Amino acid sequence: MGKKEDDKVICGANAYDKKYYFNSRYDKIPDSIKEELHVICVLFTEEIGGIFTIEFEEDGTVSMRTEYAPEDYLYDEIGSGLLIGEIRRKRQELFETLSLYYRAMFLNEDVSKLLDGE
């Protein structure tokens, strides 16, 4: 991953290294949200395996990505898609809040217009 893409990663977990990463660029995100993101990432890799990241897209939307090592025969590819869909449904409000944060803080969009739904 290049430097530009690295800046968009909010956090991630790696089942191979048993490590969690939070991008210090987003340190101003409240601790309660950071903890929720931590739980999502770690539980995903515990259940599915591989590497899981939560990232911002160019327009500020939040996306989830997963990848795995070619020799990882235990990685659950079908389960990963199902779990990502479930996380997106259950955590929709969290992702909308993160998107507003990014759009206001990094894309310098007018917060009042964002909250009015324009």
The string of DSSP codes covering 8-72 is HEEEEEETTTTEEEE-GGGTTS-HHHHHHHHHHHHHHHHHT-SEEEEEE-TTS-EEEEEE--TT-
3 state SS of 111:
helix
Give residue 69's pLDDT.
Answer: 94
Give residue 14's pLDDT.
Answer: 97
> Rounded distance, CA 118 to CA 103, Å?
13
- By mean pLDDT, which of 6-15, 47-56, 109-118 is the weakest? 109-118
Give residue 111's pLDDT.
Answer: 73
Q: List the structure tokens of 91.
A: 């955590």
Task: Note the pLDDT tens digit of each residue in 42-99.
Answer: 999 999 999 999 999 999 999 999 999 999 999 999 999 999 999 999 999 999 999 9
Give residue 114's pLDDT.
Answer: 63
Q: What is the pTM of this model?
A: 0.89
List Cβ neighbours of 76 (8 Å cut-off, separation of 6 or more).
Answer: 47, 48, 49
